[in-house]
Amino acid sequence: MAGRFITFEGIDGSGKSTQSRRFAELLTARGDEIILTREPGGSTGAEEIRNLVLTGETDRWSAETEILLFTAARRDHMEKTISPALAAGKTVVCDRFADSTRVYQGATRGDLRSKVDALHDLMIGREPDLTFIIDMDPKVALARGLARGSGEDRFEDFGLAFQETLRHGFLTLAHAFPKRCVLIDGNRTVEQIATEIAACA
DSSP 153: -
Q: Does 145 bind ligand ADP (CB under 6 A)?
A: yes
Q: Does 194 bind ligand ADP (CB under 6 A)?
A: no
Task: State which of positions 5-44 bind ligand TYD (CB under 6 A).
Answer: 12-13, 16-17, 39-40
- Of all helices (H) and strands (E), which one includes residue 169? helix 160-176
Q: Please state, in angstroms and as integers, the Cα–Cα distance from residue 170 to each residue in 77, 133, 181, following that order.
A: 23, 7, 10
Q: Does 83 bind ligand ADP (CB under 6 A)?
A: no
Q: Please state, in angstroms and as integers, the Cα–Cα distance from residue 24 to each residue in 6, 57, 73, 89, 92, following that order.
A: 10, 34, 23, 15, 9
Q: Does 15 bind ligand ADP (CB under 6 A)?
A: yes
Which residues make up the interface to ligand ADP (CB under 6 A)?
Answer: 10, 12-18, 144-145, 148, 189-190, 193
Which residues make up the interface to ligand TYD (CB under 6 A)?
Answer: 12-13, 16-17, 39-40, 54, 70, 95-96, 100-101, 104-105, 145, 155
